[in-house]
Each structure stands twice: as C-alpha cells, then as structure tokens.
Amino acid sequence: MFTRTLRHAFAVPLGAAMLMTAPASGLFAAHAQAMSTVLIKDFAFSPAALTIKAGTTVTWKNTDDETHTVVGPAGVFRSSGLDQGDTYKFKFDRPGVYAYICSMHPHMKATIVVQ
C-alpha cells in the first residue's frame, strides 16, 4: 500500500516534467534565431519596437479579450481579426522598417525593424 502510493507520487510529476521540458527545449534550440514574439496586451503591442534579422518569423499573440488586428504597410502583411489567444505569423525576408497598427484601434502603433 505504502510503496504503491509512493511510486505513484513520483511517477506523475516526473512524467509531467518530461512532457513539459522535452518538446520545449527542442523547439527553442531549433528556432531560437529565427522566431520572435510580439504580445498584444492592454491595447498595445509589446514590444512596440522590435529589431530582427531578415528571415525571422514574427508571431503576434492577442492576450486581450478584445479583438485586434496586425496591419502593416499595404500589400506586406495584414492579419484577420485576432480573438483572445489567437496568433498571427509573418516572415520578414526583406530588410526595412515596417510600421504597423491595429486597424480596429489605430492608436495602437508599433514597428518592426528588419536588418
């Protein structure tokens, strides 16, 4: 009875820890140089200014319970409406300065600088 309970107590956290760390560390190693994230939070993009290298994919994630969009220069990138928890990705291949806004709240402004 005692050993069975003990084994169970050890098995669960160990299994959970392996599930958590194995995929996360693998992903980080593979994409550390080529991915970057912008959070949409409290009606703002964070960070508001982000500098990346050409070839980097930026992921925007909306954490507000309000719908937001990510709208860059005409013809470059434009997300659909992002609800809470939704993400939008865009890969920046060309160096330049990309100002963008949320089309629903145009005071939400931010910039991606691609080197």
Contact set with Cu ion (CB under 5 A): 68, 102, 104-105
Measured CA to CA, the distance from residue 50 to residue 52 in angstroms comes to: 7
Which lies closer to Cu ion via its Cβ, residue 24 or residue 99?
99
Smallest distance, Cu ion to C-beta of residue 43, A: 6
Which lies closer to Cu ion via its Cβ, residue 31 or residue 109?
109
Measured CA to CA, the distance from residue 56 to residue 36 in angstroms comes to: 7
Handedness of CA 81, 92, 59, 72 (dihedral sign): negative
Which lies closer to Cu ion via its Cβ, residue 25 or residue 84?
84
Smallest distance, Cu ion to C-beta of residue 84, A: 12
Smallest distance, Cu ion to C-beta of residue 93, A: 26
C-beta separation of 101 from 71 below 8 A? yes
